[in-house]
Structure 1
Amino acid sequence: MNVPWQQRLQATAISRLWRILSRLSPTTLWRLSVALVNVAYPLLKRERAVTRLNLEVVYPDLTEARRATLGRESLKHSTATMLELGFAWQGDPDRVADSIVEVHGRELLDDARAEGKGVIILAPHFGNWEVLNFWLSSHFPFTAMYEPPKLAPLDPIIRAGRERCGASLVPTNPRGVAALLKALKRSEAVGILPDQEPSWGSGVFAPFFERPAYTATLLPKLVSRTNARVVTGVALRRPGRGFALYFLAADERVYDEDETISCSGVNASIEAVIALDPAQYQWEYKRYTKTLEEQRGDPDFRRYRLYSSRNMK
């Protein structure tokens, strides 16, 4: 396949930047993130607007000033996650391992596997999920879904980074779902991102901070066909120290046969880890794009959208 030279040039520049950043410590990368956001904050109009709307929905009782502070801190953490990609994918493995200074709840994984059960890790966009992937694939047979980047030349670089400790990446299609099922039946661990809005037909509406959010039904489908346990996992950033891994038992509703109830449990599980440090969740993601009104075919559904041009001002 012929790749346009512009894409090759862009991919080369990004790859070299990752290589440079991989040599820096998490403490230095955090300080760099803070400096970048402080300088570029006025220019981040789209990110600021989406973050503001999301925080108004999920924390209506906070003052506007408190939400503004929380939103700014969230952008610092999201920037840090991007700068830490080189560290997680290409940094010396011993340095990455040493940056993980705490692990809480590992017994949830060990106990499930000791009982011959697979483990589904719900890994939301919180803290640094690439550091979480590094640790999981270093300690367990681990399979995760992977969607190639739009910039095709980066694909082998990202794959190498995510697979370097033994992770198995599978496509986001029925073949990938089949691979996840096989891994679970082998009593292995699999990881899924539970807070991405799926395409129509692949989800149900379930409450996320009390507002209906279109939520993927992959988790209930995996649970219904296996005897797997479900655990929420995150790598929480400890600025100046490194990362603390937290594994929490998922909300019991995830095991319900009703997909809507199960997805309500998924979202409640995400809410529980967000409570560890709300600033470390990626609030600039448009989690509430789809609406019940659009699903029902309401011709006036656009006026119910959270991220309308009116609200984004």
Structure 2
Amino acid sequence: MSDTSSPVSTLQGRAIALLWRTLAGRRPHTLWRLAHMAGPLVYRFSQREREVTEINLAEVFPEHNEAARRRLARESLVHSTATMLELGFAWMARPERVEAAIREIHGRELLDEARAEGRGVIVLAPHFGNWEVLNFWLSSHFPFTAMYEPPKIAELDPVIRQGRERMGAKLVPTNPRGVAALLKALKRSEAVGILPDQEPNWGSGVFAPFYHRLAYTATLLPKLVARTDARVVTGVARRLPRGGFAIHFLAADERVYAADDETSATGVNACVEGAIALDPAQYQWEYKRYRKVIEQQQGHPDHKSFRLY
């Protein structure tokens, strides 16, 4: 494969990798303080992230007044900034330092019981808190497989791949070969990770409710469950106020086990909502979760909230 990276992309990738390596030596509490300083700047100057976050919050929390939603949007972008600053720590800091930063574990028995029964575990890992810390913990304690799509900046691929695999995680491609690898891992009573809140390509999902609106949701989960009898749990790494993280495993909504794709997808979205309820500010609201609904509509929607989509 020929290298198509541009000089600008190469320099950008090197600069980002250098930043991660530099920040890897900082404590999570220090990174959290840096996020508190940088987050307001992100809110002020990153128009796209600010506006999409506020649009999503207006849709999912219509009962909140505008001032409350703006406060939540500012808090959310501080957490998103913290996640970016913490990537070097999660991927490059000494393993014992990352392990020590995980202060609490909730619901581990859900994984242990499933494996004791000879069942695999599907971990639904939404974009909440720091999902790279969750990957670190899972791959440190269980045989763990997750799908991986290389980043747009090619120079970052080896950095990210090495960071995610360093504790033993197996990364597989986001294609049928990768799905086959997930099935094999589940049949070996291992754990696999799925991102439940990314919109799939057309033909790989169904519309199911996410809060008060339909969102295009992947149908991979019912296919894995039907062929493996795996247990499903939601997993997140919640950021603690004084630094460090709490890992939470939550029992899945029972609808995820339905054979019907729409019912299962509804259960998946309910799982994401359950994770968000732990601390709504820690969810990555700047993702365009309802984009496929808008694509399906003819012309531009009348509702001003969706003009940016």
Which TM class, normalised by the smaller chain length?
over 0.9
Instruction: Name the CA distance, whole Å, in 2 between partners of 1:153 and 1:264.
Output: 37
Per-residue deviation, 1:302: 3.1
Pair 1:303 & 2:285 matched: no
2:118 to 116, 119, 129: 116
Pair 1:259 & 2:227 matched: no
Cα distance, 1:184–1:304 mapped onto 2, change above 3 Å: farther
TM-score of the aligned structures, taking structure 2 as reference length: 0.96
2:137 to 131, 135, 138: 135
Instruction: Name the CA distance, whole Å, in 1 between partners of 2:42 and 2:179.
Output: 40
Instruction: Name the CA distance, whole Å, in 1 between partners of 2:288 and 2:7.
Output: 32
The CA deviation string for residues 82-115 of structure 1, in whole angstroms up to 9 with x for no partner, is 0100000001111000000000000000000000
Given residue 281 of structure 1, which amino acid in structure 2 is its aligned partner? Y
Q: Which residue of 1 aligns with 2:215?
A: 213
Q: Which residue of 1 aligns with 2:31?
A: 29
1:62 to 54, 61, 64: 64
TM-score of the aligned structures, taking structure 1 as reference length: 0.95
Pair 1:228 & 2:226 matched: no
Contact 2:235–2:249 (Cα < 8 Å) also in 1: yes
2:154 to 141, 152, 155: 152
Cα distance, 1:40–1:207 mapped onto 2, change above 3 Å: closer
Q: Which residue of 1 aligns with 2:284?
A: 282
Cα distance, 1:131–1:266 mapped onto 2, change above 3 Å: same
Contact 2:199–2:218 (Cα < 8 Å) also in 1: yes
Q: Which residue of 2 aligns with 1:268?
A: 270
SS of 1:303's equivalent in the other structure is: coil
Instruction: Name the CA distance, whole Å, in 1 between partners of 2:195 and 2:118.
Output: 24
Instruction: Name the CA distance, whole Å, in 2 between partners of 1:303 and 1:241.
Output: 42
Contact 2:43–2:49 (Cα < 8 Å) also in 1: no
1:42 to 18, 41, 44: 44
Instruction: Name the CA distance, whole Å, in 2 between partners of 1:42 and 1:49.
Output: 10
Q: Which residue of 2 aligns with 1:178?
A: 180
Per-residue deviation, 1:42: 1.7
SS of 2:300's equivalent in the other structure is: helix
Per-residue deviation, 1:301: 4.7
Contact 1:53–1:306 (Cα < 8 Å) also in 2: no
Instruction: Name the CA distance, whole Å, in 2 between partners of 1:280 and 1:13.
Output: 26
Contact 2:42–2:77 (Cα < 8 Å) also in 1: no
Instruction: Name the CA distance, whole Å, in 2 between partners of 1:60 and 1:276.
Output: 19
Q: Percent identity?
A: 67
Give matches, 1:242-253, under 5 Å. 242-253=244-255
SS of 2:214's equivalent in the other structure is: strand
For these two proteins, the number of residue pairs brought into alignment is: 307
- Gap regions ≥5 residues in structure 1: none
Cα distance, 1:40–1:214 mapped onto 2, change above 3 Å: closer
Contact 1:19–1:86 (Cα < 8 Å) also in 2: yes
SS of 2:171's equivalent in the other structure is: strand
Q: Which residue of 2 aligns with 1:11?
A: 13
Per-residue deviation, 1:225: 1.2
Q: Which residue of 1 aligns with 2:198?
A: 196
Instruction: Name the CA distance, whole Å, in 2 between partners of 1:88 and 1:75.
Output: 19
Per-residue deviation, 1:284: 0.7
